Structure 1
Amino acid sequence: MERRLVSSGAVYEPQIGFSRAVRVGPHIAVSGTAPIAPGGGGACPGDLYGQTLRCLAIIEKAVNDAGGKREHIMRTRVMLKDMKGWEDAARAHGEFFRDIRPASTFIQIVQAIDPAWLVEIEADAIVA
């Protein structure tokens, strides 16, 4: 089976040695995705809702670049710096996936690479 790597051009990809997404056959795995602003740096400082939407937009682009669509996303893992704000992240996730409703897990982490990141999200998709 062909293995296709998708890059977002983020500085961390070559430094750490990972791809934004990898597609093998119909399966697309999207790496932990942080709220990186389009020009670099962090997006939506201090705003968990905005950071969650930014992560989901980056994920959707990666899935699209791998030949999939938003509706192919079947699983997400939402990693929060502080579980107290989970409702803001859940609201953004719910708006983004309103009718798709992937399997999802919300967990609290100790620390992301950048302390300003309030959320990081992974996703998996299957393209029929």
Structure 2
Amino acid sequence: MTRTNIPGSSPYEPIIGFSRAVRLGNQVYVSGTGPVGADDLDVAQQTDQCLTLIAAALKNAGSSIEHVYRTRMFLTRTEDWETVGRVHGKFFSLIRPAATMVVVKELLDPRWRIEIEADAFIPE
């Protein structure tokens, strides 16, 4: 099985030792993606930014948002679940991937209220 690392724009990738995404065969695993560039915006805009960055990583790996089958959302505030869910639904209302929401104490950047991971496939 062929492995391809898909870089992002984070200066921390070489320091921490991670890739924005990893493609293994026809599977793509997108790392936890924070709302970089929307750090000080509201949780809806942060969620949209996370999913937009994920869509770009998937495209770079040869997949697309339409081929996501699993998402994991990490929220810092329980009360944000419904807003986050609505934005997630905007991206995934037709394909409805398996999804998990977890509330965590905090994320790496204290301004972030959401971080999202995604798994997708590349159609044959």
TM-score by length of 1: 0.92
Asked if structure 1 preserves the Cα contact closer than 8 Å seen for 2:74 and 2:116, the reply is yes
Aligned with residue 77 of structure 1, among 39, 63, 72: 72
| Aligned Cα root-mean-square deviation (Å) | 1.0
Instruction: Give structure 1 regions of 4+ aligned residues with deviation exceeding 2 angstroms.
Output: none
Gaps of 5+ in 1: 38-42
Range moving further from structure 2, 99-108 or 9-18: 9-18
SS of aligned partner of 1:110: coil
SS of aligned partner of 1:10: coil
Asked if structure 1 preserves the Cα contact closer than 8 Å seen for 2:27 and 2:122, the reply is yes
Say whether 1:97 aligns with 2:63: no
TM-score by length of 2: 0.95
Superposition deviation, residue 44 in structure 1: 5.1
Matched with 2:109 is 114
Asked if structure 2 preserves the Cα contact closer than 8 Å seen for 1:82 and 1:108, the reply is yes
Superposition deviation, residue 127 in structure 1: 1.4
Gaps of 5+ in 2: none
